[in-house]
Amino acid sequence: MPQTTPYVTESNLTDLAIERWSNISDPRLRQVMMAMIKHLHGFVRDVEPTPQEWFTAIDWLTRTGKMCDDKRQEFILASDVFGVSMLVDAITNRLPTGATPSTVEGPFHIPGSDTFETGANMASGAPGIACFVTGMVRDLDGKPIGGAMLDLWQTDGEGLYEAQRGKDKYMRGIYYSKPDGSYIVRTVAPIGYTIPMDGPVGDLMSKTKISHFRPAHIHFAVSAAGYKPVVTHLFQRGDQYIETDVVFGVKEPLIVDFKKKASGKAPNGETLSEPFYEVTYDFVLQKAAKAQRAA
């Protein structure tokens, strides 16, 4: 007699599971779950884990979940170091050549920073070498964009963010471009830093030869009415970790020169008694309507 329900075998189990998980009325969830079963089964067929190894994987995921709370998100960190966060970002932001590329926001952005006048210092009292970031905000045709908001956040000169210092309103600020599109930020130069290594992601990284450092960078979220906003970083050219960024965030157009200047007159008109850095970068935004058509 023919079987109405086939016996489960190594060869038919994947098809059976995909068929069962096709029984979902929401089309997007059905697509996601069928692909998840297909790739998860493919992974197991490729690796052929022992039951003990499979339990090790489950234990790692369990510990990763237990490491998550409102201040620490170990799953996002895992997504970052596996390159998945940047892949999702790349798929979400397919920008035309010439527009400022996006990168991941990361876990350290805090909304509601203070607004600073052009050239004012957002790093007052922070350790580090003074650093001026200047340039334009413009569109793809070179037209200046006045009134664009530049929301910045970064480490101080010792590699620590506000959350790690336990301070408030530290190493972050909002600037606006002037009517001619120009902007001047005064801050201190960031330095490279390690991802948190005291959790299951760190445990895994320590079994590899993979660098767990990010190169020095300043985070920017740039937005203006009528334009597609961009969340990105500027990276310091020559940083020792630039080619091995642990979260795969570096894109060539975002690597900028931190030019060392002798003490003297700075771009904001101040006279500095110590040497400082000068960084020049033009943010190029895509018109919002174009972005919507491409989506």
State the residues that interact with Fe ion by CB under 5 A: 106
In the complex with Fe ion, the residue whose CB is nearer, 13 or 129, is 129
Closest approach of Fe ion to the CB of residue 288, in Å: 26
Choose between 106 and 135: whose C-beta lies nearer to Fe ion. 106
Beta carbon of residue 157, minimum distance to Fe ion (angstroms, whole number): 14
Determine the residue with CB nearest Fe ion: 106
Provide the 10 A C-beta neighbour count for residue 20. 12
Q: At a CB cut-off of 8 Å and minimum separation 6, what does 139 contact?
A: 145, 227, 284, 285, 286, 287
| Min separation Cβ 26 and Fe ion, Å | 36
CA distances (Å), origin 38, targets 35, 49, 79, 181, 227:
5, 17, 20, 50, 39
- Shortest distance (Å) from residue 217 CB to Fe ion: 6
Cβ atoms 75, 64 nearer than 8 A:
yes
Residue 173 vs 181, nearer CB to Fe ion? 173
Please tell me the distance from the alpha carbon of residue 76 to that of residue 99, in angstroms, as a whole number. 27
How many angstroms separate the CA atoms of 267 and 121, rounded? Answer: 12
Nearer to Fe ion, 159 or 253 (CB): 159
Closest listed residue to residue 34, CA positions, set 58, 13, 50, 14: 14
Q: Measured from the CB of residue 209, what is the shortest distance to Fe ion in angstroms?
A: 23
In whole angstroms, what is the distance from residue 164 CA to residue 142 CA?
Answer: 39
Q: Where are the beta strands (DSSP E) in the chain?
A: 130-139, 149-154, 172-176, 182-188, 193-194, 213-214, 217-223, 230-236, 255-256, 259-261, 264-265, 271-272, 276-280, 283-285
CA angle (52, 54, 58) in 5-degree steps: 115
Contact predicate 172/178, CB 8 Å: no
User: In the complex, what is the shortest distance from the CB of residue 219 to Fe ion, in angstroms, rounded to a whole number?
Assistant: 6
The nearer residue to Fe ion, 106 or 181, going by C-beta atoms, is 106
User: Least Å distance between CB 161 and Fe ion?
Assistant: 7
Please, which residue, 85 or 286, has the CB nearer to Fe ion?
A: 85
Smaller CB separation from Fe ion, 181 or 190? 190
